Amino acid sequence: NAGVMQNPRHLVRRRGQEARLRCSPMKGHSHVYWYRQLPEEGLKFMVYLQKENIIDESGMPKERFSAEFPKEGPSILRIQQVVRGDSAAYFCASSLEGVVNEQFFGPGTRLTVL
Amino acid sequence: AQSVTQLDSQVPVFEEAPVELRCNYSSSVSVYLFWYVQYPNQGLQLLLKYLSGSTLVESINGFEAEFNKSQTSFHLRKPSVHISDTAEYFCAVSETSGSRLTFGEGTQLTVNP
Protein backbone atom coordinates (compact mmCIF):
# COMPACT_ATOMS: atom_id res chain seq x y z
CA ASN A 1 0.00 0.00 0.00
CA ALA A 2 1.70 3.16 -1.19
CA GLY A 3 2.06 5.98 1.27
CA VAL A 4 1.37 9.66 0.69
CA MET A 5 3.03 10.76 -2.52
CA GLN A 6 4.17 14.25 -3.36
CA ASN A 7 5.63 15.61 -6.56
CA PRO A 8 7.81 17.10 -7.53
CA ARG A 9 10.25 16.44 -4.69
CA HIS A 10 12.26 19.50 -5.64
CA LEU A 11 11.00 22.56 -7.49
CA VAL A 12 12.95 25.62 -8.56
CA ARG A 13 11.15 28.76 -9.66
CA ARG A 14 12.17 32.31 -10.43
CA ARG A 15 10.47 35.20 -8.71
CA GLY A 16 7.10 35.91 -10.28
CA GLN A 17 6.51 32.40 -11.62
CA GLU A 18 3.85 29.99 -10.45
CA ALA A 19 4.48 26.87 -8.38
CA ARG A 20 2.13 23.89 -8.38
CA LEU A 21 2.66 21.20 -5.76
CA ARG A 22 0.82 17.90 -5.92
CA CYS A 23 -0.19 15.48 -3.22
CA SER A 24 -1.73 12.05 -3.70
CA PRO A 25 -3.12 10.77 -0.39
CA MET A 26 -2.89 7.21 0.80
CA LYS A 27 -5.36 4.84 -0.81
CA GLY A 28 -8.79 5.30 0.71
CA HIS A 29 -7.93 8.58 2.42
CA SER A 30 -10.23 11.48 1.63
CA HIS A 31 -8.76 14.12 3.95
CA VAL A 32 -5.65 16.13 3.08
CA TYR A 33 -3.62 18.63 5.08
CA TRP A 34 -0.85 20.95 3.89
CA TYR A 35 1.95 22.19 6.15
CA ARG A 36 4.88 24.49 5.42
CA GLN A 37 8.32 24.21 6.98
CA LEU A 38 10.44 27.33 6.66
CA PRO A 39 14.21 26.98 7.11
CA GLU A 40 15.18 26.32 10.73
CA GLU A 41 11.54 26.23 11.83
CA GLY A 42 8.89 23.68 12.65
CA LEU A 43 5.93 22.85 10.46
CA LYS A 44 3.06 25.31 10.27
CA PHE A 45 -0.48 24.29 9.31
CA MET A 46 -1.78 25.83 6.12
CA VAL A 47 -5.01 24.19 4.99
CA TYR A 48 -7.26 21.17 5.52
CA LEU A 49 -9.34 19.81 2.66
CA GLN A 50 -11.78 17.03 1.97
CA LYS A 51 -12.75 15.98 -1.51
CA GLU A 52 -14.07 19.10 -3.27
CA ASN A 53 -14.24 21.09 -0.01
CA ILE A 54 -11.93 23.38 1.91
CA ILE A 55 -12.59 22.73 5.59
CA ASP A 56 -10.05 25.01 7.27
CA GLU A 57 -7.78 27.45 5.45
CA SER A 58 -6.93 29.61 8.44
CA GLY A 59 -3.20 28.99 7.99
CA MET A 60 -3.05 30.04 4.35
CA PRO A 61 -1.53 33.39 3.40
CA LYS A 62 -4.27 35.70 2.23
CA GLU A 63 -2.81 36.31 -1.20
CA ARG A 64 -1.18 34.21 -3.93
CA PHE A 65 -1.83 30.85 -2.24
CA SER A 66 -4.69 28.50 -3.07
CA ALA A 67 -5.44 24.82 -2.59
CA GLU A 68 -7.86 22.34 -4.05
CA PHE A 69 -8.70 18.67 -3.72
CA PRO A 70 -10.87 17.67 -6.68
CA LYS A 71 -13.13 14.66 -6.85
CA GLU A 72 -10.60 12.96 -9.10
CA GLY A 73 -6.86 13.42 -8.95
CA PRO A 74 -4.38 14.76 -6.46
CA SER A 75 -4.62 17.74 -4.15
CA ILE A 76 -2.89 20.82 -5.55
CA LEU A 77 -1.23 23.63 -3.63
CA ARG A 78 -0.76 26.58 -5.96
CA ILE A 79 1.46 29.56 -5.31
CA GLN A 80 1.20 32.41 -7.76
CA GLN A 81 3.92 35.02 -8.35
CA VAL A 82 6.37 33.34 -6.02
CA VAL A 83 8.77 35.40 -3.91
CA ARG A 84 11.99 34.36 -2.19
CA GLY A 85 10.17 34.08 1.14
CA ASP A 86 8.09 31.22 -0.29
CA SER A 87 11.20 29.02 -0.33
CA ALA A 88 10.39 26.20 2.06
CA ALA A 89 9.50 22.54 2.34
CA TYR A 90 5.81 21.88 1.81
CA PHE A 91 4.43 18.72 3.38
CA CYS A 92 1.15 17.02 2.72
CA ALA A 93 -0.54 14.63 5.12
CA SER A 94 -3.63 12.51 4.67
CA SER A 95 -6.06 10.69 6.92
CA LEU A 96 -8.90 8.26 6.50
CA GLU A 97 -11.28 10.68 8.14
CA GLY A 98 -10.67 14.03 9.77
CA VAL A 99 -8.89 12.34 12.63
CA VAL A 100 -5.85 14.24 13.77
CA ASN A 101 -4.23 11.27 15.42
CA GLU A 102 -3.99 9.37 12.17
CA GLN A 103 -2.26 11.78 9.81
CA PHE A 104 0.36 10.22 7.53
CA PHE A 105 2.94 12.52 5.97
CA GLY A 106 4.44 12.58 2.51
CA PRO A 107 8.14 13.19 1.77
CA GLY A 108 7.59 16.86 1.01
CA THR A 109 8.30 19.22 -1.88
CA ARG A 110 11.25 21.52 -1.45
CA LEU A 111 10.57 24.79 -3.24
CA THR A 112 13.45 27.10 -4.02
CA VAL A 113 12.73 30.55 -5.39
CA LEU A 114 15.64 32.21 -7.14
CA ALA B 1 -5.07 28.11 20.48
CA GLN B 2 -2.20 25.85 21.36
CA SER B 3 1.53 26.32 21.32
CA VAL B 4 4.50 24.00 21.69
CA THR B 5 7.95 24.81 23.01
CA GLN B 6 10.92 22.55 22.47
CA LEU B 7 13.50 23.87 24.84
CA ASP B 8 16.61 22.57 23.07
CA SER B 9 17.32 23.20 19.42
CA GLN B 10 20.44 20.99 19.39
CA VAL B 11 21.24 17.96 21.53
CA PRO B 12 24.58 16.26 20.90
CA VAL B 13 25.22 12.98 22.73
CA PHE B 14 27.55 10.03 22.53
CA GLU B 15 26.42 6.62 21.37
CA GLU B 16 24.85 4.46 24.12
CA ALA B 17 24.24 7.49 26.35
CA PRO B 18 20.73 8.34 27.60
CA VAL B 19 18.91 11.28 26.10
CA GLU B 20 15.91 13.46 26.94
CA LEU B 21 14.31 15.85 24.47
CA ARG B 22 12.07 18.33 26.22
CA CYS B 23 8.65 19.48 25.11
CA ASN B 24 6.18 21.77 26.84
CA TYR B 25 2.81 22.77 25.51
CA SER B 26 0.11 25.32 26.20
CA SER B 27 -3.59 24.74 25.64
CA SER B 28 -6.89 25.67 27.25
CA VAL B 29 -8.58 22.43 26.14
CA SER B 30 -7.86 18.73 26.17
CA VAL B 31 -5.08 17.72 23.82
CA TYR B 32 -3.44 14.87 22.02
CA LEU B 33 0.37 14.83 21.99
CA PHE B 34 2.77 13.49 19.39
CA TRP B 35 6.45 13.03 18.65
CA TYR B 36 7.54 12.89 15.02
CA VAL B 37 11.02 12.13 13.64
CA GLN B 38 12.43 13.59 10.44
CA TYR B 39 15.51 12.11 8.79
CA PRO B 40 17.45 14.34 6.35
CA ASN B 41 15.47 15.19 3.22
CA GLN B 42 12.57 12.99 4.25
CA GLY B 43 9.05 13.51 5.53
CA LEU B 44 7.86 13.12 9.08
CA GLN B 45 7.33 9.74 10.65
CA LEU B 46 5.16 9.29 13.71
CA LEU B 47 7.29 8.06 16.60
CA LEU B 48 4.66 7.85 19.34
CA LYS B 49 1.48 9.50 20.52
CA TYR B 50 -0.56 10.07 23.63
CA LEU B 51 -4.32 10.03 23.18
CA SER B 52 -5.65 8.81 26.51
CA GLY B 53 -5.06 6.19 29.18
CA SER B 54 -1.57 5.44 30.45
CA THR B 55 0.54 8.57 30.57
CA LEU B 56 3.66 6.64 29.54
CA VAL B 57 3.79 5.73 25.87
CA GLU B 58 6.48 3.76 24.07
CA SER B 59 7.72 3.32 20.53
CA ILE B 60 9.00 0.13 18.92
CA ASN B 61 12.58 1.41 18.75
CA GLY B 62 13.10 2.14 22.44
CA PHE B 63 11.83 5.71 22.80
CA GLU B 64 9.28 6.62 25.43
CA ALA B 65 7.44 9.78 26.43
CA GLU B 66 5.43 10.67 29.49
CA PHE B 67 2.45 12.98 29.51
CA ASN B 68 2.56 15.22 32.58
CA LYS B 69 -0.62 17.26 32.74
CA SER B 70 0.34 19.34 35.76
CA GLN B 71 3.61 20.41 34.14
CA THR B 72 2.12 20.49 30.62
CA SER B 73 5.06 18.47 29.37
CA PHE B 74 5.62 15.52 27.05
CA HIS B 75 9.37 14.84 27.20
CA LEU B 76 10.90 12.18 24.97
CA ARG B 77 13.50 9.81 26.42
CA LYS B 78 15.69 6.92 25.36
CA PRO B 79 18.00 5.11 27.79
CA SER B 80 20.66 4.29 25.19
CA VAL B 81 20.89 5.97 21.78
CA HIS B 82 22.35 4.68 18.51
CA ILE B 83 24.06 6.50 15.67
CA SER B 84 20.95 5.81 13.59
CA ASP B 85 18.84 7.91 15.98
CA THR B 86 20.47 11.04 14.57
CA ALA B 87 17.58 13.08 13.20
CA GLU B 88 15.31 16.03 13.92
CA TYR B 89 12.54 15.41 16.40
CA PHE B 90 9.31 17.39 16.48
CA CYS B 91 6.81 17.56 19.30
CA ALA B 92 3.23 18.33 18.23
CA VAL B 93 -0.13 18.93 19.87
CA SER B 94 -3.72 19.01 18.72
CA GLU B 95 -7.09 19.59 20.29
CA THR B 96 -8.91 16.33 20.87
CA SER B 97 -11.75 17.67 18.76
CA GLY B 98 -9.56 19.33 16.18
CA SER B 99 -7.82 18.31 13.03
CA ARG B 100 -4.68 20.42 12.76
CA LEU B 101 -1.34 19.70 14.35
CA THR B 102 0.68 22.47 16.01
CA PHE B 103 4.40 21.74 15.95
CA GLY B 104 7.34 22.84 18.02
CA GLU B 105 10.47 24.23 16.41
CA GLY B 106 12.24 20.89 16.47
CA THR B 107 15.27 19.42 18.24
CA GLN B 108 18.24 18.16 16.25
CA LEU B 109 19.59 15.05 17.96
CA THR B 110 23.13 14.17 16.90
CA VAL B 111 24.58 10.91 18.16
CA ASN B 112 28.36 10.76 17.97
CA PRO B 113 30.52 7.61 18.09
B102 in contact with A at a CB cutoff of 8 Å?
Answer: yes
The pLDDT score that the predictor gives to residue A47 is 96
The fraction of chain A above a pLDDT of 70, given in percent, is: 96
The pLDDT score that the predictor gives to residue B91 is 96
For B56, phi and psi rounded to 5 degrees? -105, 120
Three-state DSSP class for residue A91? strand
CA B60 – CA B44 distance, rounded (Å): 16
**A81 vs A30, higher pLDDT:** A81
**Segment A93-108, tens digit of pLDDT:** 998 876 667 789 999 9
The pLDDT score that the predictor gives to residue A99 is 67
Q: How many CA atoms lie within 13 A of B28 on its CB side?
A: 1
Residue A103 has its nearest CB partner, among B41, B101, B106, at: B101
The answer, yes or no, to whether residue B42 has pLDDT greater than 90, is no
Three-state DSSP class for residue B11? strand
Give the confidence band of B29 by pLDDT, cuts at 50, 70, 90: confident
CA B112 – CA B84 distance, rounded (Å): 10
The answer, yes or no, to whether residue B1 has pLDDT greater than 90, is no
Q: What is the distance of C-alpha A81 from the center of its chain?
A: 17
Contact A50, A69 (CB under 8 A): yes
Q: What is the distance of C-alpha B80 from the center of its chain?
A: 16
CA B7 – CA B63 distance, rounded (Å): 18
For residue A49, with 0-12 CB atoms within 10 Å meaning exposed, 13-18 middle and 19 or more buried, which class applies? buried
Residue A84 carries which DSSP code? Answer: G
The pLDDT score that the predictor gives to residue B22 is 97
The pLDDT score that the predictor gives to residue A1 is 53
- The DSSP-derived string for A60-100 is S-SSSEEEE--SSS-EEEEE-S--GGG-EEEEEEEESSS-G
Give the confidence band of B4 by pLDDT, cuts at 50, 70, 90: very high
How distant is the Cα of A88 from the closest Cα of chain B, in angstroms?
12
Q: Is the CB of A48 less than 8 angstroms away from the CB of B100?
A: yes
Contact B56, B64 (CB under 8 A): yes
Residue B98 has its nearest CB partner, among A100, A106, A108, at: A100
Give the confidence band of B10 by pLDDT, cuts at 50, 70, 90: very high
**Mean pLDDT, to the nearest integer, of B93-112?**
89
**Segment B53-78, tens digit of pLDDT:** 888 998 988 999 999 999 999 999 99
CA angle A26-A32-A36, nearest 5°?
Answer: 115
Q: Which residues 6+ apart lie within 8 Å of B42 measured at CB?
A: A107, A108
The pLDDT score that the predictor gives to residue A23 is 97
Cα nearest neighbour of A58 on chain B: B100
Residue A42 has its nearest CB partner, among B43, B49, B105, at: B105
Residue B55 carries which DSSP code? Answer: S
